[in-house]
Amino acid sequence: MDFLIQRLPLYIDGAWITIQLTFGGCALAFVLAMVFGIMGTIRHWLPRAISTVYVEVFRGIAALVLMFWMAFALPQLSGFRLDDMFAAILALGLNVGAYGAEVVRSSINAVPKAQVEATVALNLSWFQRTRLVVLPQAWAQMLPTFGNLVIELMKATAVVYLIGVADLTAVAQNMRESTGETVVAFIGAFILYYLIAQVLIFGMRMLERRANRKLGRTPPRGKSLKSLAQSTPVGSAGGTF
């Protein structure tokens, strides 16, 4: 225990790098997922083809190999070297964004066709029906899988030390090599990774509840199920979309 307490500032520094990598990678992955996921639902063949190429290429490449490419191969080909942390964020975002794009595409396609047809009957533009009707419903379906992808991205940051980023795993590895305390060194990393994951899980669950509440799929805060049942007429549909 004294070992961990004495070296806690180093672990905190490593955890902060891990958090930055996680949020940076998630931000990039989210943007890519939304752009290419929506492109995958457009009827025209060109945006669908571009989306398919991105998804198939970056979903089929291991994140670690992509990091090595960004950090070591790209400088040799272009003569321009990326910052190690930026290279890690870019690789993680490109990789996880490809998985996220499929989540977005499938969630949008799962929105009932009757509602999309109703927006067409109301003469809404593609942008209006996507923003006002399709995405709010698809968003609630995306979030559970997005939550899993966020956790997977956070865990994938554990290999960034291989390209020179001093993250939490790098700190634990340096501690092991300098002190020989393998078990204790990695217990510190174990605990901090777990705590970071729990915070991310909690945040994603809050987003899920908020999205479902907006769609009327969960009872509003402060009202019980019994009171809602008593206020709902017999035979009426519970919930709106």
Ordered alpha helix ranges (H), 60-179: 63-68, 74-78, 84-109, 113-121, 126-129, 135-156, 168-179
Task: With respect to residue 239, please indicate whether it lies within any of the assigned structural domains.
Answer: no
Task: With respect to residue 90, please indicate whether it lies within any of the assigned structural domains.
Answer: yes
pLDDT at 114 over 80: yes
Ordered alpha helix ranges (H), 110-134: 113-121, 126-129
pLDDT at 91 over 60: yes
Task: With respect to residue 234, please indicate whether it lies within any of the assigned structural domains.
Answer: no
pLDDT tens, 32-59?
999 999 999 998 899 999 999 999 999 9
Q: Which of 68-72, 98-102, 129-133, 138-142 has the lowest average pLDDT?
A: 129-133
Distances (CA, A) of 216 to 59, 140, 144, 232, 239: 35, 11, 17, 13, 5
Task: With respect to residue 102, please indicate whether it lies within any of the assigned structural domains.
Answer: yes
Residue 195's contacts (CB-CB under 8 Å, 6 or more residues apart) are none
pLDDT at 145: 93
**For the chain, how many structural domains are there in total?**
1
Task: With respect to residue 232, please indicate whether it lies within any of the assigned structural domains.
Answer: no
Band (pLDDT 50/70/90 cuts) for residue 144 is very high
Task: With respect to residue 233, please indicate whether it lies within any of the assigned structural domains.
Answer: no
Task: With respect to residue 230, please indicate whether it lies within any of the assigned structural domains.
Answer: no
pLDDT at 218: 62
> Average model confidence (pLDDT) for the chain?
86
Domain hosting 17: range is: 2-224
Band (pLDDT 50/70/90 cuts) for residue 99 is very high
Per DSSP, the residues of 22-77 read HHHHHHHHHHHHHHHHHHTT-SSHHHHHHHHHHHHHHHSS-HHHHHHIIIIIHHHH
Residue 179's contacts (CB-CB under 8 Å, 6 or more residues apart) are 3, 185
pLDDT at 229: 47
Distances (CA, A) of 32 to 38, 55, 100, 103: 10, 10, 8, 12
Question: Domain of 72: which CATH number?
Answer: 1.10.3720.10
